[in-house]
Every structure is written in structure tokens, then in C-alpha cells.
Amino acid sequence: MAVYDCMTFLTDYGLEDGFVAACHGVAARIAPTARLIDITHLVPPGDVRRGAAVLAQTVCYLPPAVHVAVVDPGVGTARRAIAVTAGDSILVGPDNGLLSWTIDALGGATSAVHLTNGEFWLQPVSATFHGRDIFVPVAAHLAAGTSLEATGDPISVADLVVLPAPTSRLHDGEAEGEVMSVDRFGNVQLSIPAADVGRLGIGIGMPLLVRCGRRQLTVPYLDTFAAGAPGEIIAFTDSAGLISLAVNAGDAAEQLGLPPGAHVRLSHAHAG
Amino acid sequence: MAVYDCMTFLTDYGLEDGFVAACHGVAARIAPTARLIDITHLVPPGDVRRGAAVLAQTVCYLPPAVHVAVVDPGVGTARRAIAVTAGDSILVGPDNGLLSWTIDALGGATSAVHLTNGEFWLQPVSATFHGRDIFVPVAAHLAAGTSLEATGDPISVADLVVLPAPTSRLHDGEAEGEVMSVDRFGNVQLSIPAADVGRLGIGIGMPLLVRCGRRQLTVPYLDTFAAGAPGEIIAFTDSAGLISLAVNAGDAAEQLGLPPGAHVRLSHAHAG
Amino acid sequence: MAVYDCMTFLTDYGLEDGFVAACHGVAARIAPTARLIDITHLVPPGDVRRGAAVLAQTVCYLPPAVHVAVVDPGVGTARRAIAVTAGDSILVGPDNGLLSWTIDALGGATSAVHLTNGEFWLQPVSATFHGRDIFVPVAAHLAAGTSLEATGDPISVADLVVLPAPTSRLHDGEAEGEVMSVDRFGNVQLSIPAADVGRLGIGIGMPLLVRCGRRQLTVPYLDTFAAGAPGEIIAFTDSAGLISLAVNAGDAAEQLGLPPGAHVRLSHAHAG
């Protein structure tokens, strides 16, 4: 019966419509004293992997909370609605993998329920807006002190849908990975942890060979993008501990033509 | 002298500038304990009908509040600034029809004032930013307990400017309407209530004939867009109770070339 | 040891990622009762002048607060992190001029520190996300009652980096200035105060000669853009007290081809 004074909210609803505000309103009616932090509502429509990555990389900086995430291309189909306890928080959303990387980031799920108790839903439930009608009202009730058990049927945490983790492995003197995301600055975040590059013996100040598709280029591995010369492509360890490619005062994603999901390999420059 | 612990805010100010924040600041100075829920600030500039539709479709999910809405292409001209009580809320904005559909959604206006008492304004009042200088400060004073009567001169609710309702009628075996809006997913919301389609005897699972301009197409009427095959155009009842056209994992507005305001007719597919 | 119940936040982080939310989360953990007003997060990446202008034009409407601003192309380099007291507020950000116009708007700096006390930072500090790891946690500690002196080493307010003020002068019967910004409506804000135009003897209702590059045009100087005929370019005093060029129901920046920084001169139309 813990009470949470914070909720967070991530969706692909966009900001042009009243969708997000309707959810804020529903939450405010049920849990009027809870603070609600918007994570983002600009996940590309239906992009579950992108939503999963943003949530997992942000959650450690948020207070203990009931986190609601809705990127739900299967809304209205048989996919389950779930609530999961992990660490000191509760996660609420569709059981399509969206929550899985965040569950890992919080140390793993300790319990889970299939949301089946309509008593905590906004009735009548629409077929297409479960954020407003199921996820947010249930989350707000949880924040206000309703027990997890009351909201549905217990399910095994081993049965939750898990999103395949981004490719990342050390292999034959190379760190292999994929483009996780491109941020507003055009910085290209790879799925390769800085620790893996370290394991290859590559340290700050050393040249790094980057291979993507048929292209290969050698870039310096620096402390920060601002340490690069203007226009120079560099690698750095980003704020999530992952290797990112950047151009000081420029757009690396555009220069490199690297979209999310693209395969990238890093190694010692002299290995090229 | 009711006190409201919630305000809401809808504008066409955009998010690039400090306009919205200046209004938040003004509200926080006058009513520091009121929660302020942003509905949207991305109404297309000057698009009163769009602002009116978003507000009217969202308001039922919001707590009792002082709702401020500013889409005001006539700012600085003779159009009146008004505050209106409806249901358990107060609406504040320009008297250009922006509030009229929301007044209906809340059950009709019970009283109204022309905002003429400069005591509650931010002085000096600019000619072009009445959101910051008139609407938000008056709304915040109302939230903090100022009586409606104190803010201006009573006017007849029958004199308020009313926006023509979206076209929607049953006629000759057809439901006629117009495109209300296109959301971020490319879903095309029509002004036709699902109830009207039901009155034509068309139920979930049946084919629906859609006519727009010279085009006509037959689409299935399904529970949700996710029930459609990928790429298939379908009709469904959206979260506002209106018929919407959608493409599962696609953009119906783009495929159909249907902008807001476009005329659409729905009927039994065999009637085509 | 003042305690602030309000923080504000301006960045160029964008809204697609979790960057802003991570900062909100960090603030909420340290100062859970402080209200956090977002000013904007859509400053063009690295555009320090634009960030400085938005903050300076907004701050007067905000409550006394700890204002955090991060437009920081030099993050991770030798530029200092600072906190500055001015008026009834505290400003926190990089010492790159971003805060300087706001310091002026608040009446000048009264004290300043170089943020060197890592005790108030989020450890380990990343090289590229000082908003999350230094500026916001320090600001939240200041809001919660930590003294300015505790956060670092005192520095002379005379040593703070100052951004060159926008060009604006009266010269030879002309008011010269530059384009400060273009808002969402396409209104072109000039750095020329309405007071300067008044000093030239040009009043509302009189024609104004506008010269930009090789072009010159005569426009009416009106109360508000809504007073112009549809499609007509007009000048008006905007909500910041500056001369702006606008088109009623149109986009002046597009019609005039005037980007931020462009040089503009205003004078009596008969002087043309």
C-alpha cells in the first residue's frame, strides 16, 4: 500500500492534440497530490524500441514513482496490460516489451499483474485510448495507495514480453553494435558501452576505427564533442555511458548517414 | 468564491518561445498552489476551430478547473475578453467562438462576464499578448477565489459568439460530415458520431462505403485500427466517440489526401 | 539560506529524448516541493544568443526562482559553471554569456560563484551532460536552502562573460537594429525599442520606412498586427516593448526573407 508522490509518463501521443492532457486530467482527478513528470511524448509513432530505450536511460534519474509508458501499436488486440514492480518503482503499460529494458535497469521485476480489474479503469473503456482509460487511471490509483494485487491477476515475471536487447558484443578485437538513437544535436548513440571499448585497450585520446556498411573512418576518441575541431567527427562516451559519434557544432547522423539500427563496428585504428 | 486547485491552458503560442512560460509565471505569482495542466500549445496559428475541437474533446477528462484558452487572431481588436461558468468549471478566453463547443460539452453556460476590470490584469497591458496580460492573470485570480462578478460586466450567455458546429447529419441513408482533425498517427477524425453510423444499421465488422470528393472506397468498420491488416484503410470508433479512418501502422490522412474540413459521406457498402 | 519554491528551466535539449525529464527527476529528488516551470527546450542547438534573448524577455514574468539555463556548446571544456544572484532570483548555468542579458533584466548581478563544490553534483559527472549532473542538482540544492557560498568559489561579477548586446542605436534620423527573433507566427522581432521610434517622432498610425539590405518598404505603424489588412505588412510594438514586423494572418519573416541577425533600419517614411 505504498503511496507514491510522483508519476512519470512516456508516450508516442505527440503534443498537437489533447491526448496527453486528457491523461494528466485523469491522473489529477484520482491522485491530485502526485507530481507528474513527462518524459517525452515524441517517441516516433509505434516505435516500441525507441520508447524502451528512452525510458531505460532516464529512469535512474527519476524519483521512486509509478512510471506509465504507452507505445502501443497493438492497442485493442490481445496484448496484455500490465503493472510490474521493480526496484522502488512500479511500471505500468502494455506487455509488448516496452517496459523490459527499464525493468532490467531497475534490477529486475519482483512481481507483476495482468490488469484485469475494471474497477480502476475509466468506463466505458475505448478500444484505442488505453492510456487514458486503463494505464493512467490504474497508475494513479497505484500512486494513491491501491495495492498491486487489487488491480488484476498475478502473472509470472518470467512470462513478461522481453524486447531483444540491442546488439552489442566483443568479437575478434572489435566491438560490434548498432545505432541506438540520434538525438537533437545529431549525435549518434551506439549500443556499445564505453567499457567495451576500454576492454579493447582503447582509451581517451586514441584513434578509433569506425566501420559501418562499406565505409570506414578513423576518428579520435575524446572526452566530449566540444573537444573536437569544428566539423570533425569524433567519438566520446555519452551521458548514458555509451559510445556516441558526434561533430562539434554539426550533425554527425547526417554526415555519416547512420539511422537507428544501423550496424557499426569499432576497433583500434591500426587494426584497419 | 470557489477556489480551484487546477488551471488548464490551451493556446497556439508554440513551444519555441517564452510565451507559454511567461503565462505560467504570471499564474504562479497569483495562484501559487494551483496545478496548471497544459492542454496543447501547438494549435495551428489562428486556427480557432481546431483549438475549439481539442478543448471540447479534452475537457471532460480534466478536473474542475479554470480553463484558459487563447487562439486569438483578433487580439487587440474589438472582440471581447470573457469568462464563462459552465458545469463545475470556469472558461476564460476571447469571445470568438473558441470556448463555445466546450461550453456545450460542459452542459451550457450558466453565467458570463465581459472582462473589463483592469484591476486583475497585468499592467501595462500589451496590445498583442492578452494571454499573459489579461486572460491568465484573471484566470489565476478566479482560481484563487476572486468572484466572477468582480472581474467585469455581466453579459447574457445568449450573446456569446458561437462557432458553427461541424457539419454532421443523417440524410437519405447517408451520414454526412467533415474531417475534424488529423492526429499524429495520421488518423482522420470525422465529425460523424459512431451513433449515427449505428442508426444506419451499420455495425462493427460490416463494410462501410466512404465517399470523399469524386473518390469512393469500401473499408471495414472495425473495433480498432490495430485490427486492420498492415496497410489497410479501416474505419473505427475513436476515443471521442467519432468515426475515424486509419491505417494500421500507416498514415490514413496521407493515403486519402483528406485535410481538415473536407466533406465525407458514409453509407452501407451495398448502397454504393 | 533563502528557500525558493520555484525553479525554471531553459535548454536546447529538445523534447524527443529523456534529457529534460532526467533533469526534472534530479530536481524532484533534491527539492521535491519546488515547482519547476519549463521556459523552453527548443532553443536551436548551441544558439546562445537565442537562449539569452528568450530568458531575458521572460524572466520578469516569473516568480522569484532559481533559474537554470543550459545552452552550452562548450560543455566539458574550460568554460566555468556559475551561479549568480540578481534581483530576487538566482541564475545557474554556463559562463558563456547565456545569463548576461537576464542578469541585466534583473537589475545586475549582486554576487557570483564558480561552481566547484562537487558535493552538490550528481556523481560521477558525465563530460557532456552538465545540465543533469551539475547545473540542475546545484540549482535544486540552492532552491532547497543551500547557501550560494557553499556551492563554489566566489568570483567577481565584473568577470562574468557578457554577450554583446543586440545592435540598436539612433543615428542620423534612423533607428538601426537587427532581427532578434522570429516567432511561431512569423512575426519578426527587431532589437529596436518602441521608445527609440518614438524619439524619432514616429507615432502609432504614421508610416514607417523599413530598410533591410537593398530593399526598402513603407509600412504602417499600428497598435497590433490584427489591425492590419489581411496580407499587409505592418509594424507594431510587441509584448516585449520592441518593434516587430508582422502580417495579419500571414508570415512576415517568410515574406520579407529576414533571418535572425539581419540588419534593419527604421525611419520616417518621408525621409526615404
Cβ within 8 Å, pair A126-B5: no
* Residue C270: pLDDT over 80: no
Per-residue pLDDT tens over the stretch A110-161: 999 999 999 999 999 998 899 999 999 999 999 999 999 999 999 999 999 9
Rounded distance, CA C61 to CA B18, Å? 10
Residue from C81, C149, C72, C87 nearest C115 by CA? C81
Would you call A170 an interface residue with chain B, using a CB distance cutoff of 8 Å?
no
C-alpha cell at A149: 494485487
* Residue C168: pLDDT over 50: yes
Per-residue pLDDT tens over the stretch A74-113: 887 789 999 999 999 999 999 999 999 999 999 999 999 9
* CATH assignment, A6-159: 3.40.50.10790
Kindly report the number of other CB atoms within 10 A of residue A165's CB atom. 11
Distances (CA, A) of B211 to B176, B188, B206: 9, 14, 16
Give the largest Cα separation in chain C, rounded.
Answer: 64
Confidence label for C1 from pLDDT (cuts 50, 70 and 90): low
Length of chain C equals: 272
Name the amino acid, one letter, at C216: Q
Peptide bond into A44 cis (omega under 30): no
Would you call B24 an interface residue with chain C, using a CB distance cutoff of 8 Å?
yes
Per-residue pLDDT tens over the stretch B72-81: 998 877 899 9
Count Cβ atoms within 10 A of the Cβ of residue B13 and give its class: 0-12 exposed, 13-18 middle, 19 or more buried. buried
**pLDDT number for residue A228:** 85
Contact B6, B63 (CB under 8 A): yes
Would you call A62 an interface residue with chain C, using a CB distance cutoff of 8 Å?
yes
- Main-chain dihedrals φ then ψ at residue B33, nearest 5 degrees: -100, -5
Shortest distance, CA B183 to any CA of chain A (angstroms): 7
Where in chain A are the domains? 6-159, 168-271
Rounded distance, CA B176 to CA B165, Å? 13
Would you call A40 an interface residue with chain C, using a CB distance cutoff of 8 Å?
yes
> What's the average model confidence in pLDDT over C242-252?
91
Shortest CA distance from B16: residue in chain C: C42
* Residue C14: pLDDT over 50: yes
ipTM comes to: 0.94
Cβ within 8 Å, pair B224-A15: no
The SS3 call for residue A125 is coil
The angle at the Cα of C185, spanning C14 to C210, to the nearest 5 degrees, equals 120
The SS3 call for residue B270 is helix
> What's the average model confidence in pLDDT over B5-13?
97
> What's the average model confidence in pLDDT over C234-250?
92
Would you call B5 an interface residue with chain C, using a CB distance cutoff of 8 Å?
no
Rounded distance, CA C57 to CA A96, Å? 45
Name the amino acid, one letter, at C132: R
Rounded distance, CA C49 to CA C181, Å? 10
- CATH topology for A168-271 is Elongation Factor Tu (Ef-tu); domain 3 (2.40.30)
The upper half-sphere exposure of residue B80, i.e. CA atoms within 13 Å in the direction of its Cβ, equals 20
DSSP states of B19-42 as a string?
HHHHHHHHHHHHSTT-EEEEEES-
- Residues in B closer than 8 angstroms to A25, CB to CB, are 8, 37, 58, 61-63
Would you call B12 an interface residue with chain A, using a CB distance cutoff of 8 Å?
no
Name the amino acid, one letter, at B132: R
C-alpha cell at C125: 559527472
- Residues in C closer than 8 angstroms to B25, CB to CB, are 8, 37, 58, 61-63
The pTM of this model reads 0.94
Shortest CA distance from A183: residue in chain C: C17
Distances (CA, A) of B49 to B68, B102, B181, B254, C45: 16, 11, 10, 21, 33
Per-residue pLDDT tens over the stretch C214-237: 889 999 999 888 888 888 999 999
Peptide bond into A124 cis (omega under 30): yes
Shortest CA distance from A35: residue in chain B: B35
Contact B272, B209 (CB under 8 A): yes
Shortest distance, CA C55 to any CA of chain A (angstroms): 21
B62 or B215, greater pLDDT: B62
**pLDDT number for residue B1:** 52
Cβ within 8 Å, pair A6-C28: yes
Number of H helices, E strands in chain B: 7, 15
- Residues in A closer than 8 angstroms to C27, CB to CB, are none
- Through-space distance between the first and last CA atoms of chain C, rounded to whole angstroms: 58
Rounded distance, CA C173 to CA C181, Å? 24
- Main-chain dihedrals φ then ψ at residue C135, nearest 5 degrees: -65, -50
Give strand pairing partners of B236: B222, B244
**pLDDT number for residue C272:** 41
Per-residue pLDDT tens over the stretch B211-269: 987 889 999 999 888 888 888 999 999 999 999 999 988 899 999 988 888 999 999 99
The angle at the Cα of C158, spanning C156 to C160, to the nearest 5 degrees, equals 85
Residue from A16, B259, B17, B45 nearest C249 by CA? B45
* A-B contacts (CB, under 8 Å): 92
**pLDDT number for residue C6:** 97
> What's the average model confidence in pLDDT over B95-119?
98
The pLDDT mean for chain A works out to 94
Rounded distance, CA B8 to CA B23, Å? 11
The SS3 call for residue B120 is helix
Count Cβ atoms within 10 A of the Cβ of residue B262 and give its class: 0-12 exposed, 13-18 middle, 19 or more buried. middle
Rounded distance, CA A178 to CA A18, Å? 35
- Residues in B closer than 8 angstroms to A129, CB to CB, are 238-239
- Residues in C closer than 8 angstroms to B11, CB to CB, are none
The upper half-sphere exposure of residue A185, i.e. CA atoms within 13 Å in the direction of its Cβ, equals 26
> What's the average model confidence in pLDDT over C10-23?
97
> What's the average model confidence in pLDDT over A250-257?
90
**pLDDT number for residue C271:** 46
**Best A184, A225, A254 residue to mutate vs chain C (most C CBs within 10 Å):** A184
- Main-chain dihedrals φ then ψ at residue B267, nearest 5 degrees: -160, 175
- Main-chain dihedrals φ then ψ at residue B116, nearest 5 degrees: -125, -5
Rounded distance, CA A95 to CA A160, Å? 7
Rounded distance, CA C77 to CA B226, Å? 49
Confidence label for A1 from pLDDT (cuts 50, 70 and 90): low
Peptide bond into B124 cis (omega under 30): yes
The SS3 call for residue A232 is coil
**Best B61, B244, B245 residue to mutate vs chain A (most A CBs within 10 Å):** B61
Residue from B98, A38, B46, B9 nearest C183 by CA? B46
Per-residue pLDDT tens over the stretch A9-52: 999 999 999 999 999 999 999 999 999 999 999 999 999 999 99
* Residue B29: pLDDT over 60: yes
Rounded distance, CA C187 to CA C184, Å? 7
**pLDDT number for residue A272:** 42
**pLDDT number for residue B271:** 46
- Residues in C closer than 8 angstroms to A42, CB to CB, are 15-16
- Residues in C closer than 8 angstroms to A63, CB to CB, are 25, 28-29, 32
Rounded distance, CA B261 to CA B267, Å? 19
Shortest distance, CA C167 to any CA of chain A (angstroms): 25
Contact A116, A73 (CB under 8 A): no
Contact C74, C46 (CB under 8 A): no
